Amino acid sequence: MAICGGTSAAKEATQAVKDICQSVRSQAEKEAGKTYAEFTAKTFTTQLVAGTNYFIKVHVGGDDDHVHLRVHKPLPCNGEKLTFHSMQHSKTEEDEIVHF
């Protein structure tokens, strides 16, 4: 059970989450200062706020090179677009996705 205001349990990436991941790829690569050979969403958690925060574990190449993305999807009534918030580098497949 999720804690009120906390993040959900980690789940396998759905097609919708994979699409979100691809839509912010260029922004993530710009922040990282490099282009990734691979950019595949693996798992994710969510946090309900005034919309939804997505915390996405992304495989970016190599045997075990991952990053974590934070992306905000506003409520539909706000008419805003997805917002790339931030990312964490040097993650592995085993690293837990946590709020950041």
- Which among 72, 100, 74, 73 is positioned nearest to 87, based on CA atoms? 100
pLDDT-derived band at 63, boundaries 50, 70, 90: confident
Is 50 contained in some domain?
yes
- Region 22-34: mean pLDDT is 96
- pLDDT above 90 covers a percentage of the chain that reads 74
In the predicted model, what is the mean pLDDT of the chain? 91
pLDDT at 68 over 50: yes
Is 36 contained in some domain?
yes
| Single pTM value for the model | 0.90
Is 3 contained in some domain?
no
Is 26 contained in some domain?
yes
Q: In which order are the strands placed within the sheet that holds 65-74?
A: 11-12, 40-49, 51-61, 65-74, 83-91
The pLDDT, as a whole number, for residue 1 is: 44
- Region 78-94: mean pLDDT is 91
Is 97 contained in some domain?
no
Helix axes 25-32, 15-23, angle to 10 degrees: 50
Domain extent, residue 23, equals 11-91
Write the pLDDT tens digit of every residue in 9-27: 899 999 999 999 999 999 9
* CATH number, domain containing residue 16: 3.10.450
**Counted domains in the chain:** 1
